[in-house]
Amino acid sequence: MKRPRHRRAVKPEGARDAGSGPERPLAEGMAGLLRAVANRPWLFALLLVSATIVAYLPVWHAGLIWDDGSFVVNHPLIHRADGLYRFWFSTEPVDYYPVTSTMLWVEWRLWGANPLGYHLVNVLVHSLNAVLLWRALKRLNLPGAWLAAALFAVHPVNVESVAWITERKNTLAMFFFLLSLLWYLRFDSGPSPLAAGFADGAGPSTLNLQWRWYWLSLTTFLLALLSKTVVAPMPLVLLGLAWWRRRRVGRRDLWQSVPFFVTAVAVGLISFWFQSHRAIGSDIVRTDSFWARLAGAGWAVWFYLYKAALPFGLSTIYPRWQIDGGQWWSYLPGLLLVGAFLAFWRCRRGWGRGPLLALGYFVVMLLPVLGFLDIGFMALSLVADHWQYFAIIGPLSLAAATITVACGLLGTRRLFLAAAVGGALLVVLGGLTWRQCGIYADPGTFWQAAVTANPNAWLAHNNLGNVFFEQGQTDEAMFHYQRALEIQPGYATGHYNLGGVLSQKGQVDQAIAEFQKALEIQPNYSMAHYHLGEILRQKGQVDQAIAHYQKALEIHPDYAEAHHSLGAALLRKGKVDEAITHLQKALEIHPNHAEEHNNLAGVLWQKGQVDEAIAHYQKALEIRPDYALAHHNLGKLLQQRGQVREAIAHYQKALEIQPDFAPACNSLAWVLATSPEASVRNGVRAIGLAEEAQRLSDGHNPMFIATLAAAYAEGRRFPEAKTTAERALQLATTQNRTALANHLRAQIALYQTGSPYRDAGRASD
């Protein structure tokens, strides 16, 4: 029996096939282009890295913000040659992140204090993380793996982890975390290494290769932990992925996860010790109950989901929630979260499987920062954008898969449509990331943005005050310090900073009161002890100052400035040997501080140890050749030893560096006016220098006036010399400078006889 032939319908004139027209070739062309990219992994990886770099272009001009200085640029262990050993094998670091510290130790030797290098590395590491995420999701056969990786690359919530140099901990830990995950998936995709025999036909070499991927995964997981221990929940992620791939967690999966759990616990305990004993110490981070923390964990999860979905109003310091564990409604967010898990679990054999994995991964990776463990930052806020850098992969992957699957329902144009929807989303997110990067330009911009986003962020007010103080805007600094204390009255650092600005404004008594309040709140505040000692010493209360310096050194034995100031105070008490001991200790701590060498030289000179004094002056000038004061002081010492020409050279160098340096003008004028060597003397120049010293000192220094008198005498202007010397004598007598007054009487007698004064070896004051 013949099958009936179907006649092809004739298309009416002017009619078009469905899907024909100019939009169809465009869609097909774009789809073809996208398939070409998808078939060349290296090309997509390059596009991903390029897109990340473009989104983060403003970071290239960013500076050092918050703790970037103390964590990187000014970190004493990063500067030390043995810093690597101390990072790995000592308890000196505040946190135990030795892999991150090692990387920064190397970079400091490449970039120094220039933030550009650190920022570029952070952006590049983040872009590599996006590539690794793409490959890992691809291996899991997740729909839209490319879109998930791109969303992660340009999502503005991640700006805090990428643009903040200190958060190299995050980007580097993520790199090793994803590498470990990728290698574990390669291991887990092969024949079962734990299966007895080789029933699948896999030989010993194949199984050995599979185990290599396992050990590589475990090693990179350890490196991730040593970069930042927030990746500790990864073993739970591995079990979750085993369930996702095989719909169950078998005995093999459990055994394979054991070394990961052991490694996570071991490194986690070390990190916990450092966090509690070094980072937090005696500080009180939280006083709320376990139940309040449990309720807060539910709040935090929904907060992070909200910021992942709608990344607007981002802040570096979010308002700190006050959660009452005794109120039933405090637990509603957590109960809703449990309800979501139960709903997804019930539908796990269908549509709920993907959301269950995504939400489970999200919560698991947030576990270290949900508030059950104290973190120093929680004294400011219970949430932070950089805390969801690892967790955000879950919701982004779910969103990308949902978009891709939804577009796939539309037929052959699904790739083009997915790219169009995803591209629009990426453009919006990339624009938000670009804008968010702008707040990292400099500390002033950063802290102003923090205050604008959260006016009650007391730390932001304090640090913005620091910016104004460094710029010399003391009124603005005082306003923000006072605002910080209005919000947080028990903030010791706020009282300390307010004391500093009051001291600079000359309000000494108010400054003392603020330093004392800081010490009432925090008795072991070494810097407050030191600066209170400084003010008391300036007021002449030397004994009280010494007590505070000693307390500062009891708390912080390596406090170089306190050793120096204690040495200066002891000098005023006539305890020269004790003073020298502390000045030498300051130099042991900071051997390349030219000022300390200059100060110690002065004390040694006073004690008669001239050769040692000269050596320290020379060391100061070796460290800092443009140190005008050290040139002048060395010149005075050499003049006293009769090395007049060498002294003149140092006086002249001091004036080249600092032309308005009155003491150097006076000292050089004195030598040129009074030297016994005729070839050295120059009356005309001596008069000019002495008159300049007079102008710079407002004519109230009797020694400078005496030098001018000697210069007039050398220039044969004896009447002026006599009159000027008599004026100097009157000032010296008024100031009870007996030795100088006696010298002036002798000089006046010479000038009356028409004779200039000759100094056989006395250097000018």
Say yes or no to pLDDT of 388 above 70: yes
- What's the rounded mean pLDDT across residues 11-25? 44
Q: What is the pLDDT of residue 284?
A: 80
Over residues 136-154, the pLDDT tens digits come to: 999 999 999 999 999 999 9
Cα–chain-centroid distance for residue 417? 43
Over residues 175-213, the pLDDT tens digits come to: 999 999 999 999 988 655 544 344 444 555 666 778 999
Residue 630's contacts (CB-CB under 8 Å, 6 or more residues apart) are: 594, 597, 598, 601, 617, 620, 621, 624
Instruction: Using a pLDDT cut of 70, give the percent of the chain over it.
Output: 91
- What's the rounded mean pLDDT across residues 156-163? 98
Say yes or no to pLDDT of 2 above 50: no
The answer to which of 204-218, 347-361, 364-378, 510-524 has the lowest mean pLDDT is: 204-218
Q: What is the pLDDT of residue 204?
A: 59
Residue 587's contacts (CB-CB under 8 Å, 6 or more residues apart) are: 593, 596, 597, 600
Q: CB-hemisphere CA count at 13 Å for 648? A: 19
Numbers of helices and strands, H then E, in the chain: 36, 0
* Alpha-helix runs per DSSP H in 590-661: 594-607, 610-623, 628-640, 644-657
Say how far apart CA 548 and CA 595 lie, in whole Å: 22
Q: What is the pLDDT of residue 38?
A: 60
Say yes or no to pLDDT of 21 above 60: no
pLDDT band at 17 (very low <50, low <70, confident <90, very high): very low
Contact between residue 632 and residue 651 where contact means Cβ atoms under 8 Å apart: yes
Apex 99 CA angle, 60 and 392, nearest 5: 65
pTM (two decimals): 0.81
Q: What is the pLDDT of residue 207?
A: 64
Residue 12: other Cβ atoms inside 10 A? 6
Map out the domains of the chain as residue ranges: 36-192+209-437, 660-765
Contact between residue 469 and residue 480 where contact means Cβ atoms under 8 Å apart: no
Over residues 395-426, the pLDDT tens digits come to: 999 999 999 888 877 655 666 777 788 889 99
Residue 640: other Cβ atoms inside 10 A? 14
Q: What is the pLDDT of residue 7?
A: 43
Question: Burial letters for 477-514: b for 16+ Cβ neighbours within 10 Å, e otherwise?
Answer: bbbbbebbbebbeebbbbbbbbbbbbbeeeeeeebbeb
Q: What is the pLDDT of residue 3?
A: 45
Over residues 612-641, the pLDDT tens digits come to: 999 999 999 999 999 999 999 999 999 999
Which residue type is seen at 140? L
Say yes or no to pLDDT of 736 above 80: yes
Say yes or no to pLDDT of 599 above 60: yes
Say how far apart CA 159 and CA 65 lie, in whole Å: 14
Longest dimension (CA), the chain: 152
Sign of torsion, CA 148 133 300 318?
negative
Mean pLDDT (the chain) is: 90
The answer to which of 31-40, 299-308, 562-571, 601-610 has the lowest mean pLDDT is: 31-40
Over residues 440-482, the pLDDT tens digits come to: 999 999 999 999 999 999 999 999 999 999 999 999 999 999 9
pLDDT band at 280 (very low <50, low <70, confident <90, very high): confident
User: How many angstroms separate the first and last alpha carbons of the chain?
Assistant: 130
